[in-house]
């Protein structure tokens, strides 16, 4: 197991944390239990001292008192002393010492663990508790002293010394039990820490694999994590990133494909007029043009091809300026009826030559719109010319203009070949042209609709398309209405 593995790191951190918590808790518990045990023992000795004091008050025979105190001392495995007002032991029983065999130096104010100050407190009516090594008993003892008065109203004190060894043994047993419990808790905590660290790291490992897969180009990789915590949110973000990267890659690939097609289309569009102009020019140079009329026709054809090339170049430049925000959209109140009449005059003949009916219906009370008349004219010419290219002879193209919810609605419909559903989302992209197998008439560069969309949006309007394959297409243009109205 590697030290830089997150499972190991989490396991080590949680195990150390558990060790620290258990260590601190164990030390605190030991200290608390030790204090509690000593307090309980001291209370028991105080209770015993009260009993001894009662016995001393009630019993006037010294021999009988010695027997009773000896019995109490034996029963409680302690040493019981009765002291007079000067601190002299007048009765002592238990733990190998009795009144008959008192050490020579015990009858002074400094016996046992109690100091002279403690004795002074004792005879002032206070209970004294102390513990430590007692040289007379050659062991550590817990000592409790309690004042009382005998039947003759003389100051007396009961002092009880209990050995600490039984208490220490009990505390040691409890401490060992606590140690065993702590060890068991540490082992269990270590196992649980390992389990939970693996549980936490598992989704991270999955996300790492997914990230590596994406780094190698597999953007279909997804992380299946259902949790709602931060890891789940991270997994969702990673999945979202993969989806957006896939979309972006697909978009870039599609754009690249469109650019390649555009280069091919532009090359073809340029090649055709150049070839035509070359043919006409070579014919004239070779002296094959005999009449002035033929020469004028040849020159006219060359001029038309030159204009065609100019339109192509202008469309590319216009689109570039629009994308860079440098295109001129100077607007003023416009009469759409006049714009539509100009468009009709320019395209009626073209539609008639192809055997297509061009029908225009304009609402009588048409309000004005703020627009650049040349740009809007270009939009309509582009949409109608596009419809003419994709509508077979005998078909119909209609332009309907109505007012709808403070907007002027221009609707260009045709009965042409329609647009395939898979092409609809992409027709607004620059350089895009639909399936060549359905393109009836050459001449488009794939820039027209991209330019149309940007012009409409530059006027604060909207444009959308509806189409059914082999049934026809409808373009809807919505432009904001100006406050003033026209005829």
- In DSSP notation, 199-246 reads HHHHHHHHHHHHHHHHHTT-TT--------SHHHHHHHHHHHHHHHHH
Question: What is the 3-state secondary structure of 380-418?
Answer: HHHHHHHHHHCCCCCCEEEEEEEECCCEEEEEEEECCCC
Give the bridge partners for 284, in sequence order: none
428 phi and psi, to 5 degrees? -85, -10
**CATH 1.20.120.430 given to domain 230-323:** no
Please state whether the predicted TM-score (pTM) of the whole model is above 0.95.
Answer: no
Q: Give the pLDDT confidence of 242-299 residue by residue, as tens digits.
A: 888 888 888 888 878 877 876 776 777 678 778 888 988 998 898 888 888 988 888 9
Closest CA to 456 of 400, 359, 383, 368: 383
Rounded to whole angstroms, how far apart are CA atoms 298 and 306? 12
* Angle at the Cα of 282 from the Cα atoms of 277 and 287, rounded to 5 degrees: 130
Q: Would you state the pLDDT for residue 436? A: 47
Q: What pLDDT sits at residue 321?
A: 75
Give the CATH architecture of domain 329-485. 2-Layer Sandwich (3.30)
Q: What pLDDT sits at residue 105?
A: 62
pLDDT digits (tens, 9 = 90+) for 31-49: 777 777 778 888 888 888 8
pLDDT for residue 441: 45
Looking at the DSSP bridge assignments, the partners of residue 82 are: 91, 158
Q: Where are the domains of the chain?
A: 6-171, 230-323, 329-485
Give the pLDDT score at 313. 81
Burial class (CB in 10 A: 0-12, 13-18, 19+), 94: buried
Q: The CATH number of 6-171 is which of 3.40.50.720, 3.30.450.20, 3.40.140.80, 3.30.360.10?
A: 3.30.450.20
Could you tell me if 399 and 360 are in contact, meaning their C-beta atoms sit under 8 angstroms apart? yes
Tokens of 46: 């105080």
Q: How far apart are the first and last CA of the chain?
A: 86
Q: What residues of the chain score a pLDDT lower than 70?
A: 1-5, 103-115, 262, 265, 269, 323-328, 430-446, 483-487
Integer-rounded Cα radius of gyration of the chain? 54
- Bridge partners for 134 per DSSP: 139
């Amino acid at each position: 197991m590697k030290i830089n593995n997150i499972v190991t790191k989490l396991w080590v951190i949680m195990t150390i944390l558990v060790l620290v918590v258990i260590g601190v808790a164990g030390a605190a518990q030991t200290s608390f239990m030790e204090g509690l045990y000593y307090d309980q023992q001291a209370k028991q000795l105080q209770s015993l001292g009260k009993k001894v004091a009662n016995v001393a008050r009630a019993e006037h025979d010294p021999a009988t008192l010695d027997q009773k105190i000896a019995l109490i001392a034996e029963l409680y495995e302690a040493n019981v002393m009765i002291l007079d007002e000067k601190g002299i032991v007048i009765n002592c029983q238990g733990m190998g010492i009795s009144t008959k065999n008192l050490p020579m130096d015990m009858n002074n104010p400094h016996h046992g663990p109690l100091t002279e100050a403690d004795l002074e407190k004792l005879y002032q009516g206070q209970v004294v508790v102390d513990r430590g090594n007692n040289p007379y008993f050659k062991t550590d003892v817990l000592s409790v002293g309690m004042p009382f008065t005998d039947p003759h109203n003389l100051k007396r004190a009961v002092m009880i010394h209990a050995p600490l060894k039984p208490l220490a043994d009990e505390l040691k047993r409890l401490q060992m039990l606590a140690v065993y419990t702590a060890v068991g808790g540490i082992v269990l905590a270590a196992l649980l820490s390992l389990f939970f660290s693996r549980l936490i790291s598992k989704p991270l490992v999955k996300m790492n694999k997914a990230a590596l897969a994406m780094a190698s180009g597999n953007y279909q990789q997804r992380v299946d994590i259902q949790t709602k915590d931060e890891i789940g949110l991270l997994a969702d973000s990673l999945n979202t990133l993969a989806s957006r990267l896939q979309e972006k890659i697909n978009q870039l690939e599609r754009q690249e494909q469109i650019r390649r097609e555009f280069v091919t289309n532009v090359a073809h569009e340029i090649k055709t007029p150049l070839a035509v102009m070359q043919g006409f020019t070579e014919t004239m140079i070779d002296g094959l043009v005999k009449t002035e009329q033929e020469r004028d026709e040849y020159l006219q054809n060359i001029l038309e091809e030159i204009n065609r090339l100019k339109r192509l170049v202008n469309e590319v430049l216009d689109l570039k300026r629009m994308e860079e925000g440098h295109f001129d959209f100077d607007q003023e109140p416009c009469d759409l009826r006049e714009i539509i009449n100009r468009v009709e005059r320019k395209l009626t003949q073209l539609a008639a030559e192809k055997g297509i009916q061009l029908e225009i219906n304009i609402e009588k009370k048409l309000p004005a719109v703020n627009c650049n008349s040349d740009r809007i004219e270009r939009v309509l010419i582009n949409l109608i010319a596009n419809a003419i290219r994709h509508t077979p002879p005998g078909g119909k193209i209609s332009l309907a203009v109505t007012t709808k919810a403070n907007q002027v609605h221009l609707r260009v419909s045709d009965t042409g070949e329609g647009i395939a559903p898979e092409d609809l989302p992409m027709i607004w992209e620059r350089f895009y042209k639909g399936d060549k197998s359905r393109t009836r008439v050459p001449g488009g560069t794939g820039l027209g609709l991209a330019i149309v969309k940007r012009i409409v949006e530059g006027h604060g309007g909207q444009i959308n398309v509806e189409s059914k394959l082999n049934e026809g297409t409808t373009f809807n243009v919505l432009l904001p209405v100006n406050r003033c109205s026209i005829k």
